Structures are given as structure tokens and as C-alpha cells.
Amino acid sequence: MRLTLYTDYALRTLLYLAVHTDRRVSIREVAQTYGISENHLVKIIHHLGRGGFVRTQRGRGGGLTLGRPAEEICVGDVVRHTEEDMVLVGCMTRNGDEGMPCLLAKGCSLRGVLEQALDAFMGVLDKSTLADMLHPYERRTLLQAAEHRHSPDPAGR
């Protein structure tokens, strides 16, 4: 199972916001911290906003904040919201649509095993909140990245 970059960036953004609950954060700041495209991040932020994970405020003094406390943001919910397709193999579908045709489809036990594996994977994510992901290392690293970005250049540039 491999999550898309879209979901990866969404989770990274939420972690960044969870560390910086004392202020609004700009999309540019998040993008520069992680070295990702601002244009791509705008789409992700919009999607996260529609899901209630992020609050946005436009204009002077605007920016991003978490839509609710980190303790209330389930990682599994974020993944389900950002992943378009959680299908592991072509014959599997979660919404009742016909999957890719397969000779073994009617009696295939592999499909059942893969569905159990996906359920177990999501079960682990469902037990974790955004707050659970913020150990001292993550907090320190993200705070230092923000401090480094905001500190004056010692060379005067």
C-alpha cells in the first residue's frame, strides 16, 4: 500500500499547523518548509478545508489554522478524505462498482485477504490522531524550521 503524494502533503501540512497553533500559517511557509509546490498545496488546502480539517482566512493577517484540535483529527479520516482510491488490486472496489475482470473473481480468496489487510491498515490509522504524531522530535524539527525561516540573515541579505 502506498499513499499518494497528495495525502503525504496533506498530512505534513496538518502536522505543521498542529505545531503552530499559536498563530496563522501561510501556504508559502508550509510549501517552503517542505520544499513543495505552492500551487499544488493550494489545492490540498482547499480540499482539507472542505473536509473541516483546516480553516482558512483571507486577507491581511490571514492564513491557515487547524479546523479542530489535533486530538480530534483522526489520521484515518484524513487518509480517507484525501485518497481517491483505496483499491489494492484491479478487481477490488469499495463502492460496489465492477472492478477489473478476473477469471477468479467469483471464488477468489486473495481478494478477501487483501480486503482484510486494508481494513487492518486503516484500523491502525483510525486509532491515531494528529496529536499522537507530534512527538518531541517532530515538534522540535518543525519549530526550528519556522524559526530558521523567520530569523534575520546574519550576512545582512
Q: 62: domain CATH number?
A: 1.10.10.10
**How far out from the chain centre does Cα 24 lie?**
18
Query: Can you give the residue range of the structural domain that contains 81?
Result: 5-150
The set of cell numbers assigned to 101 is 475482470
> Is there a domain that residue 156 lies in?
no
Q: Which three cell numbers stand for residue 4?
A: 499518494
Please name the residues in contact with 45: beta carbons below 8 A apart, sequence gap of 6 or more. Answer: 13, 27, 54, 56, 64
What is the C-alpha separation between 25 and 138, in angstroms, rounded? 17
Quickly count: other Cβ atoms within 10 Å of residue 88's Cβ: 16
Burial of 74 (0-12, 13-18, 19+ CB in 10 A): middle
Least Cα distance to 16 among 44, 125, 154 occurs for: 44
Question: Does 41 map to a domain?
Answer: yes
Residue 157 forms part of a structural domain: no
pTM given for the model? 0.82
- Is 155 within the bounds of a domain? no
Does some domain include residue 127? Answer: yes
**pLDDT in tens for each of the 157 residues of the chain?**
789 999 999 999 999 999 999 999 999 999 999 999 999 999 999 999 999 999 998 888 889 999 999 999 999 999 999 998 887 777 766 555 555 667 766 777 888 888 899 999 999 999 999 999 988 777 777 777 777 665 554 444 4
Domains of the chain: total: 1
